[in-house]
Amino acid sequence: MPAPAISAPDPHAALFAEAHRLHFSERAPARALAAWDRYLAVAPEGRFAPEARYNRALALVRLGRHVEAMPELAAFASGAHGSYRRDDAKALLDALARDASPP
């Protein structure tokens, strides 16, 4: 039986890693947003694109840019990326809606 095929490494993995570091280690949402945008500009359908899109939406939320984050989160919540992050996106959209509701 032949060995399973090993997928080629993502040529843009370094861009993803930089965005991930800025987002999760440095907790710098503005810089992370710019880095997610750089990754998605060169790899819109790349191996890590769904995670980059979700993390980009999180960065927008952290920056208070909820209106911009909502369409991306809605795509996840509606299953545009299968079940990946669907429940997380629904919960976040619900939380954003509660926060936007007048008291």
**DSSP for 20-35, written as a single string:** HIIIIIS--HHHHHHH
> Is 60 contained in some domain?
yes
Single pTM value for the model: 0.87
Collapse the DSSP code of 8 into the 3-class scheme (helix H, G, I; strand E, B; otherwise coil) and give the result. Answer: coil
* Two structure tokens written together for 2: 């032949």
Domain membership of residue 66 as a residue range: 33-100
Contact assessment for residue 50 and residue 14, using Cβ atoms and an 8 Å cutoff: no
> Is 43 contained in some domain?
yes
pLDDT value, residue 99: 85
How many distinct structural domains can be found in the chain?
A: 1
> Is 3 contained in some domain?
no
> Is 80 contained in some domain?
yes
pLDDT of the chain along its 103 residues, tens only?
444 445 567 789 999 999 999 999 999 999 999 999 999 999 999 989 999 999 999 999 999 999 999 999 999 999 999 999 999 999 999 999 998 777 6
